[in-house]
C-alpha cells in the first residue's frame, strides 16, 4: 500500500511538473526584434514576417520571411548574428513565412552545424495543399524539406503545446472556439487521414512567453484568430494580462463588423503593448490603439528593426513612432 502511494505520488508529481500551469517560470530577460515585415526602416521590406526572440540567453528565430534572402540581408543590416540561433519556429506553411529557411540555414551551418538546424512547427505543417496549383507548390515546405534535412536539419512537429524552454511555450495547433476566419482564399488540404478538407491553416501556431508583467504572444499571420490565440495562451500558460502582442494578425482585409468585434476583445485581456506587423493592417493597428485606450508608444505599426524589450517597452524606429 505504501509502495502504491509512493508510486502515485511520483506519477502525480511528474504530471504536475509537466503541466507547470500552476506555477509557470517567469522569464527575466526578453527582447524581440522584427526582421521581416512590409514597413522597412532598416533593410528591406516585403510581404512576410520574421522576428528574432532573445529570451534568458536563448535565441529563437520566429519565421523566416518570404524572399529567400530578405531576412539574411536585414539581419546583416541590423548587425544581428544568426549563427548562434539553434531553433526556428515556423508559425505555418505559407510562403511568406518559410521562404528564407534554406538560405538562412546555408548561411550559418558551416560556422555552426547546429545553427538554425531545428525547426518547430505544429501538426499540419506538411499537409499537402490542393488549391489552384500543383499540390507541392501549394505547400512550399514540401519543396524545402529534403534539402533542409540533407543539411542535417531536423523538423519537430508538435501536436500539442510544449514548453520549449523555461517560460517559453510553442502553442502547437490552436483551438478555435471563436469563429475567426482570418485568412485569404478558399484552399483545400489533405489531412492526416487522407481526407480533402477546407484549408483553415490548422497548423497556425504562436509562441507564448511568461513574464512577471504578463504574457507575451508572438504570432506570424494569426490565421487561428487573435482572440483564439490569446485565450489559448491564457489557458496553456496562465490567465494573465497580455503584456505584449507582436506579429501579424491578418485583419488587413477584414470587414468592418469583424474588425469591430476583434478590436473590442483585447481590452478583456488587458493588452498593454502591440506591434502590429505584416498582415495586421494599418487601420487595425489604429483601431486597437483606440479601443485599448493606449497611446502611440504602446501600439505601433511594425517595421523592420522594431524592438520590444521587457522593462523597456517598444522602440518602433523613426518612421512608425
CB atoms within 10 A of CB 237: 25
* Site membership for Zn ion, residue 67 (CB under 5 A): no
In whole angstroms, how close is the CB of 95 to Zn ion at the nearest point?
8
Of 275, 254, 180, nearest to 224 by C-alpha is 180
Whichever of 221 and 303 has its CB closer to Zn ion, that residue is: 221
**Which of these segments, 123-131, 185-193, 205-213, 216-224, binds Zn ion (CB under 5 A)?**
216-224
* Site membership for Zn ion, residue 96 (CB under 5 A): yes
In whole angstroms, how close is the CB of 130 to Zn ion at the nearest point?
17
| Cell 552545424 sits on residue | 113
Which DSSP string do the residues of 258-303 spell out, in sequence order? HHHHHHHGGGTTT---EEE-GGG-HHHHHHHHHHHT--TTTEEE-E
Binding-site size, Zn ion (CB under 5 A)? 3
Whichever of 204 and 272 has its CB closer to Zn ion, that residue is: 204
Of 205, 128, 198, nearest to 169 by C-alpha is 205
Please pick, from the candidates 46, 87, 90, 94, the single residue that binds Zn ion as defined by CB under 5 A.
94
**Which of these segments, 53-61, 209-217, 221-229, 254-262, binds Zn ion (CB under 5 A)?**
221-229
In whole angstroms, how close is the CB of 279 to Zn ion at the nearest point?
5
Whichever of 33 and 64 has its CB closer to Zn ion, that residue is: 64
The mark string for 174-213 relative to Zn ion (x by CB under 5 A, - otherwise) is: ----------------------------------------
In whole angstroms, how close is the CB of 278 to Zn ion at the nearest point?
6
Whichever of 183 and 274 has its CB closer to Zn ion, that residue is: 183
In terms of phi and psi (left: phi > 0; alpha: psi -120 to 50; beta: otherwise), the region of 32 is beta
Whichever of 232 and 243 has its CB closer to Zn ion, that residue is: 232
Longest dimension (CA), the chain: 69
Q: Which three cell numbers stand for residue 57?
A: 540567453
Of 75, 145, 71, 152, nearest to 114 by C-alpha is 152
* Residues 243, 227: Cα–Cα separation, whole Å: 15
In whole angstroms, how close is the CB of 255 to Zn ion at the nearest point?
19
Q: 146 Cβ partners below 8 Å, 6+ apart?
A: none
Please pick, from the candidates 141, 216, 221, 249, the single residue that binds Zn ion as defined by CB under 5 A.
221
Q: Which of residues 280-309 bind Zn ion (CB under 5 A)?
A: none
Whichever of 70 and 221 has its CB closer to Zn ion, that residue is: 221
In whole angstroms, how close is the CB of 241 to Zn ion at the nearest point?
26
* Residues 170, 28: Cα–Cα separation, whole Å: 18
Which helix or strand (DSSP H or E) is residue 189 part of?
strand 188-190
Rule CB under 5 A: which residues touch Zn ion?
94, 96, 221
Amino acid at each position: 500500500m505504501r509502495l502504491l502511494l509512493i508510486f502515485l505520488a511520483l506519477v502525480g508529481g511528474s504530471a504536475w511538473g509537466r503541466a507547470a500551469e500552476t506555477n509557470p517560470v517567469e522569464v527575466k530577460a526578453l527582447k524581440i526584434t522584427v526582421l521581416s515585415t512590409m514597413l522597412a526602416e532598416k533593410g528591406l521590406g516585403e510581404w512576410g514576417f520574421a522576428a528574432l526572440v532573445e529570451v534568458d540567453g536563448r535565441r529563437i528565430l520566429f519565421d523566416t520571411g518570404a524572399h529567400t534572402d530578405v531576412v539574411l540581408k536585414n539581419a546583416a543590416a541590423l548587425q544581428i548574428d544568426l549563427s548562434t540561433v539553434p531553433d526556428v519556429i515556423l508559425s505555418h506553411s505559407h510562403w511568406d513565412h518559410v521562404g528564407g529557411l534554406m538560405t538562412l540555414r546555408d548561411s550559418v551551418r558551416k560556422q555552426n552545424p547546429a545553427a538554425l538546424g531545428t525547426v518547430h512547427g505544429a501538426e499540419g505543417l506538411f499537409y499537402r495543399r490542393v488549391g489552384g496549383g500543383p499540390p507541392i507548390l501549394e505547400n512550399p515546405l514540401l519543396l524545402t524539406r529534403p534539402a533542409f534535412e540533407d543539411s542535417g536539419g531536423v523538423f519537430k512537429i508538435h501536436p500539442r503545446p510544449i514548453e520549449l524552454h523555461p517560460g517559453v511555450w510553442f502553442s502547437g495547433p490552436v483551438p478555435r472556439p471563436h469563429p475567426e476566419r482570418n485568412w485569404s482564399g478558399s484552399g483545400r488540404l489533405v489531412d492526416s487521414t487522407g481526407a480533402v478538407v477546407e484549408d483553415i491553416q490548422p497548423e497556425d501556431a504562436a509562441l507564448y512567453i511568461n513574464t512577471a508583467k504578463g504574457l507575451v504572444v508572438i504570432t506570424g499571420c494569426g490565421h487561428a484568430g487573435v482572440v483564439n490565440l490569446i485565450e489559448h495562451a491564457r489557458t496553456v500558460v496562465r490567465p494573465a494580462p497580455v503584456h505584449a502582442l507582436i506579429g501579424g494578425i491578418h485583419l488587413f482585409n477584414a470587414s468592418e463588423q469583424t474588425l469591430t468585434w476583434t478590436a473590442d476583445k483585447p481590452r478583456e485581456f488587458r493588452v498593454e503593448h502591440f506591434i502590429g506587423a505584416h498582415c495586421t493592417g494599418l487601420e487595425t493597428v489604429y483601431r486597437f490603439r483606440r479601443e485599448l485606450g493606449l497611446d502611440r508608444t504602446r501600439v505601433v505599426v511594425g517595421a523592420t528593426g522594431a524592438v520590444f524589450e521587457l522593462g523597456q517597452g517598444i522602440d518602433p524606429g523613426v518612421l512608425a513612432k
